[in-house]
Amino acid sequence: MAQPVPGVRLGIAQAGIKKSDHDDLVLIELAPGSRCLGLFTQNAFCAAPVHVARAHLQQSEGSSRYWVINTGNANAGTGEDGMNAARATCAAVADITGCDLTEVLPFSTGVIGEPLPVESLTDALPLAHRDLGPDQWQRAAGAILTTDTCAKVASRVISVRGSEVTLTGMAKGAGMICPDMATMLAFIATDADLGADLLESIFRRSVTASFNRITVDGDTSTNDAAMVACTGASGVVIDESDPDLLEQFQQALDSLCLELAQAIVRDGEGATKFVELEVAGGRDESECLAVAYTIAHSPLVKTALFASDPNWGRLLAAIGRAGLKDLQVDAVSLFINDVLIAVQGARAPDYTEASGQAAMAADELVIRVELNRGDASARVWTTDFSYDYVRINAEYRT
């Protein structure tokens, strides 16, 4: 169950952006003085709300009062009209609430290349504002979905010298998932008090190990954003003067981000498998990641996963084309759910097709690659490719 975060209220409304009688607009109110940080897509064709949110964060020096999120339309590939629509959305929130324009951050998700129906959105904003309440995380998480099948929300509570610090977050994403910063959309809030530099440091660490380690289809969205806000309402200050408390908070944030990131993979479009790729024994983390992502992005591997076919030749082929310099293939070992498939670059002597099929039949898989050329390791989470993935994306605009 999502825990309310003191200093945060959420309101939901129906703007009819994609279809009627559907929650598709969320307004998040942050207490005055809240400190905010955003990590955004590295896609050069980023959406208008990304441009506006980045600019407003910089102009307000990380002090935001309202986040406004719409689903059903990405407001990406919309040129100057899209920029004007994103600004108009912020202006409407500022008019309703009395805050400064730069204290409003816009976020959009949905179809790319279609004009944002800004009047429908702004007409519904007063409804979202009147709906503001602290216990709306679950409903808000459902209102930001596109092709997702379920809401993604999680909380952590840590005890600090008789007080409690709460962290709650929600995320959306099921397709076009291969983040190069964060995730499709993620919104996290805490009532702790952290300085700007420390907040950026710990949030980047959490994002690196979670949202930046997931992939469904290898596509990086135009709209990716991961946001964190600290209201300070608990009165608990997190800083370097108490390293144990800092590490406790970091672990809670790491755990929260990882739960949300993995929830995105589990809800991948048409997914039937949740797959952890573990690459160990690399010279450095970057080459471990190169191997993991090459496997995760291989259509041949992903379709074999869907069929529960232990076609380990596809895995070895992916490892071999990952671009590792001087890779000694006869040092590589391959496991699927602890079944040794290949050793010294070839079929393991004791391996049988039956044992491979039994391992692949599971809904959750761990594919482990041992490179045996160093001490580095990395993990990535991904899915299979099913018939439904093709259907969902073929019918996305219809």
Which pLDDT does position 331 carry in this prediction?
Answer: 95
- What lies within 8 Å, CB to CB, of 326 at 6+ separation is none
Specify whether domain 8-266 bears CATH 3.30.70.580: no
- What lies within 8 Å, CB to CB, of 19 at 6+ separation is 72
Q: What is the pTM of this model?
A: 0.94
What is the 8-class DSSP label of residue 212?
G
Enumerate the domain spans of the chain.
Answer: 8-266, 274-394
Distance between start and end Cα atoms, the chain: 35
Which pLDDT does position 222 carry in this prediction?
Answer: 81
At 386, the amino acid letter reads S
Which pLDDT does position 397 carry in this prediction?
Answer: 66
DSSP 324-382: -TT--GGG-EEEETTEEEEETTEE-TT--HHHHHHHHTSSEEEEEEE--SSSEEEEEEE
Rg of the chain in Å (alpha carbons): 22
Say if CB 46 and CB 40 are below 8 A apart: yes
The structure tokens listed for 167 are 């962290």
- If you count them, how many residues does the chain have? 398
User: Within 10 Å of residue 364's Cβ, how many Cβ atoms?
Assistant: 10
- What lies within 8 Å, CB to CB, of 208 at 6+ separation is none
- What lies within 8 Å, CB to CB, of 320 at 6+ separation is 327, 329
**Is 183 a catalytic site residue?**
yes
* Blockwise average pLDDT, block size 10, the chain, 398 residues: 96 93 96 96 90 96 96 94 97 98 96 94 98 98 90 96 95 74 80 97 95 82 90 96 96 97 87 94 97 94 92 93 94 95 92 92 96 97 86 72
Rounded CA-CA distance 253/277 in Å is 22
Burial bucket for residue 180 (CB in 10 Å: 0-12, 13-18, 19+): middle
Nearest alpha carbon to residue 138 among 6, 266, 10, 7: 10
Kindly name the residue from 183, 215, 220, 382 that is annotated as catalytic.
183
Rounded CA-CA distance 11/28 in Å is 6
Which residues, in sequence order, are bridge partners of residue 9? 29
CATH class of 274-394: alpha beta
User: Within 10 Å of residue 7's Cβ, how many Cβ atoms?
Assistant: 22
Rounded CA-CA distance 310/336 in Å is 8
